[in-house]
Structure 1
Amino acid sequence: MKNIKTKIVVFISTILVGFLIATNYNFEGSSSTLSLNTKEYQNAVETKNNLTKQVASLRQINSETQVKVNEYNNSDIDNVKILEDMNMQVADYGRLTGINEVKGPGLVITINDGSINEKEDDESTILKKYLHDSDMAFVLNEVRYAGAQSIAINNYRISPLTGVNCYGPYLIFEDKTVEYAPFNVYVIGNPETLKASLFEQGSFLNQLLIRGLSVEVAIKDEITMPASNIGNMEYAKEYINK
């Protein structure tokens, strides 16, 4: 009889617990049910995925930062080593931005207006044989895409902020520097890779040749480029996402 009573109590308790779970009972005197429609469920999944990505990204950043901190805290690394590391980073940034003079192998692409035949060429043909600022912008973009690591036009170093305009036989840059034709585009990078990419079928340099402009290329074992003056960053300030 005692065993039967025990079984009944266990059975009733099981039913009660199941009911509490089904109704999401909070054990504080109230119960609630959770029901999401399709849109709410999709939003919840998207929110979860975004949070997961953010957590993964923060973990990666934390791991990289911790490695750097450990390097600096290592007893074998003294102030001289830290200073050398910082100087190397500054040098890398200087090469990338153009504020440091650089040298290396690459190409020299010489571009000049085409020969004009005033008796046979109409106005449209003559305009096509001139190099315009939009043409130089396309050339710079194509050179970068081909793998250029540093670029200069004549004696003017191209930086990430360089803008160019055309006024007749010369180009004028954003800081009012003027360079005259013929334009020698100096490019530091892998010479063979650059040449193959810049003169492949459909490239912009080939289009300039079809239009009648003069385009010549020479491979150089070493090119030296001057530093650029990228100017004062008056408006763009560092943003730290808190």
Structure 2
Amino acid sequence: MKAKRVSRNISIALICVILGLALSWQFQSIRSNAKVMNLESQKKDDLVVKILNEQKNNENLRAKLNELQVQLNKFESARGNSDENLKLLTDEIQKLKTVAGLTDVKGKGVTVTFAKEDSLNVEDDDLLFVLNELRATDAQALAINDQRIIDTTEVRVAGGYIMVNGRHVTPPYVIKAIVDPDNAVNALNMIGGALEKIKLFIDVHVEKSDNIEIPKISEELIRTDKLKPVEKD
């Protein structure tokens, strides 16, 4: 009788252990499925943001094409009218100077500030990652610590300092961008985006603004002495 009781107790204990393991496996499975579903939801959200950004870029390209067509029509209409041609050429030169970074500009955008106390952790690649992400969201003007960023601008570490346009910039590092604020914030804060890894080591603050001012680039940095126009037959 005693042996039967011991056997029954052992059986009950084994059943309890098996049930415990089964419940544990079920709980782990539920948690794993929840994580997968959450990750898939995040990926879908990121994909939606990317699609919206691409649609915005396409709209900007179409608007630019229409703008160029209007400009062409104006030149054709002003053919033979010297005063009108002069005005159109002056306006075009002003526009080209703005695009080239030779004029002060302002508009809506964002600022991205790297905390001063984390400045030793900031590398040139961190700044370049943010600049490239902002360019991808159609930023029309960029600056680091009021150094205008143009096509020939270099951002690099030299002698323990970060150099921009050949100038030593000191922390805190502040990137300004004239860009659609909502698109820029969504792109920068995207999971797996530019700031996710940077924020593991550096305190970075992104802020929208209705009035971003970006100064022009120094004209001494625009060099064309090695450039010669190609003459076509």
* Same-fold status (TM-score > 0.5): yes
* 1:71 to partner: Cα distance: 2.0
CA separation in 2, counterparts of 1:154 and 1:182? 8
Partner of 2:152: 161
Q: The residue matched to 2:151 in structure 1 has which SS?
A: coil
Q: Is the 8 A contact 1:169 1:180 kept in 2?
A: no
* 1:109 to partner: Cα distance: 0.5
Q: Is the 8 A contact 2:153 2:164 kept in 1?
A: yes
Q: Aligned pair 1:238/2:229, yes or no?
A: yes
TM-score (norm 2): 0.62
Q: Residue 215 of structure 2: which of 220, 226, 231 is its match?
A: 226
Question: Which segment is superposed worse, 198-207 or 63-72?
Answer: 63-72
Q: Residue 180 of structure 1: which of 166, 170, 187 is its match?
A: 170
Q: Residue 90 of structure 2: which of 87, 90, 105 is its match?
A: 87
CA separation in 2, counterparts of 1:166 and 1:113? 17
Q: Aligned pair 1:205/2:208, yes or no?
A: no
CA separation in 1, counterparts of 2:72 and 2:147? 41
| Counterpart residue type for residue 100 of structure 2 | T
Question: Which segment is superposed worse, 232-241 or 139-148?
Answer: 232-241
| Counterpart residue type for residue 144 of structure 1 | R
Q: Is the 8 A contact 1:106 1:223 kept in 2?
A: yes
Q: Is the 8 A contact 1:110 1:185 kept in 2?
A: yes
Partner of 1:106: 109
Distance 1:79 1:136, change over 3 A: same
Q: Residue 70 of structure 1: which of 64, 73, 76 is its match?
A: 76
* 1:66 to partner: Cα distance: 8.7
Q: Is the 8 A contact 1:171 1:179 kept in 2?
A: yes
Q: Unmatched 5+ residue regions in structure 2?
A: 1-68
TM-score (norm 1): 0.59
* 1:194 to partner: Cα distance: 1.1
Q: The residue matched to 2:131 in structure 1 has which SS?
A: helix
Q: The residue matched to 1:237 in structure 2 has which SS?
A: coil
* 1:169 to partner: Cα distance: 6.4
Q: Aligned pair 1:152/2:143, yes or no?
A: yes
Q: Is the 8 A contact 1:94 1:100 kept in 2?
A: yes
CA separation in 1, counterparts of 2:205 and 2:100? 27
Q: Is the 8 A contact 2:137 2:179 kept in 1?
A: no
CA separation in 2, counterparts of 1:69 and 1:155? 36
CA RMSD for the aligned pairs? 2.8
Q: Give the paired residue count.
A: 163
CA separation in 1, counterparts of 2:206 and 2:71? 45
* 1:114 to partner: Cα distance: 6.6
Larger radius of gyration: 1
CA separation in 1, counterparts of 2:96 and 2:134? 20
Distance 1:69 1:158, change over 3 A: closer
Distance 1:152 1:64, change over 3 A: closer
Q: Unmatched 5+ residue regions in structure 1?
A: 1-62, 117-128
Distance 1:179 1:223, change over 3 A: same
| Counterpart residue type for residue 176 of structure 2 | Y
Q: Is the 8 A contact 1:150 1:188 kept in 2?
A: yes
Q: The residue matched to 1:73 in structure 2 has which SS?
A: coil
Matches within 5 A, 1:111-150: 111-112=114-115, 130-150=121-141
* 1:180 to partner: Cα distance: 0.6
* 1:65 to partner: Cα distance: 11
